[in-house]
Amino acid sequence: MKIPNHIAIILDGNGRWAKAKGMPRSYGHVVGCDNLDKMCTIISEMGVKYLTVYAFSTENWKRNQAEVQVLMNLFRRYLKRCERSARKNGTRIKVIGDISALDPDIQERIRWAEEMTKDNDRLHFQIALNYGSRDEILRGMTRMAEDARAGLLPEGKITEDIFASYLDTAGIPDPDLMIRTSGEMRLSNFLLWQLAYTEFYFVDVPWPDFHKEQLLDAIEVYNGRDRRFGNAKS
């Protein structure tokens, strides 16, 4: 079985999963977070080189403030825990998104996790926090315009490579497989540029129930896809 080099996952369905059990949505987030830990290890052991997960979108601030607080507290704890395990198992952590809107202590944890794991290269693990693809493109293009004004860009032609180098994902290859759990079939502002040629896999299983078996199903479907870029086979 061919293992995708880069898997991107929209972690969805925590709230509905908890509700179906008669529990508060926050319980779904706690279990979803534990599942992310486990799945990271499994994905790394499979030999996947890049994993990008969507954990909090630029639109998620519109949720009920108590739920946003629960999520922020979970990120606090998660970043610490994740940094410790990443150091041990050779994972490099990178957060994509506009972290300037997060509480200062969370920003500090992010910088620390990135710094402590920057020499690791077994699994490159990107966590999208306060991430929105449109926001990422606008932030990147604002910087690109500044560089153009300062005369730092070649005149006349902006190439795809130059554009991509201003995105939060600069240097990271595009995803091969994008998985969204819990039945919704939309991108919700996730990696709009980067997913141009990615294979999509939508599954009804909510994130807290998405384990190794479900991942293997996704990879099997991916293996059956006839990947094309234009008309050329990969």
What are the catalytic residues? 12, 60
Question: 36 vs 113, which CB is nearer to Mg ion?
Answer: 36
The answer to whether 199 contacts Mg ion (rule: CB under 5 A) is: no
What SS3 string covers 98-147? CHHHCCHHHHHHHHHHHHHCCCCCCEEEEEEEEECHHHHHHHHHHHHHHH
Site string for Mg ion, 10-49 (x = CB under 5 A): --x-------------------------------------
Contact region with Mg ion (CB under 5 A), list: 8-16, 56-64, 84-92, 194-202:
8-16
10: partner contacted, choices Mg ion, ligand IPE, none (Cβ within 5-8 A by kind): ligand IPE
Contact 153, 147 (CB under 8 A): yes
- Measured in whole angstroms, the distance separating CA 215 from the mean position of its chain's CA atoms is 16
Residues 6+ apart with CB under 8 A from 97: 56, 58, 128, 129, 130, 131, 132, 135, 136, 168
The answer to whether 136 contacts ligand IPE (rule: CB under 6 A) is: no
Question: 91 vs 181, which CB is nearer to ligand IPE?
Answer: 181
Residues that contact ligand IPE, how many (by CB under 6 A): 17
Q: How far is residue 25 from each of residues 13, 16, 195, 211, measured CA to CA in Å?
A: 10, 7, 29, 20
Q: Cβ of residue 12: shortest distance to Mg ion, in angstroms?
A: 4
Which amino acid is residue 100, in one-letter code? S
Q: Cβ of residue 41: shortest distance to Mg ion, in angstroms?
A: 24
Q: Cβ of residue 9: shortest distance to ligand IPE, in angstroms?
A: 9
Site string for ligand IPE, 154-193 (x = CB under 6 A): ----------------------------x-x-x-x-----
Q: Quote the longest CA-to-CA distance of the chain.
A: 60
The answer to whether 60 contacts ligand IPE (rule: CB under 6 A) is: yes
Sheet holding 50-57, edge to edge: 91-96, 123-131, 50-57, 6-10, 177-180, 199-202
The answer to whether 190 contacts Mg ion (rule: CB under 5 A) is: no
175: partner contacted, choices Mg ion, ligand IPE, none (Cβ within 5-8 A by kind): none
Residues that bind ligand IPE (CB under 6 A): 10-16, 54-57, 60, 71, 182, 184, 186, 188
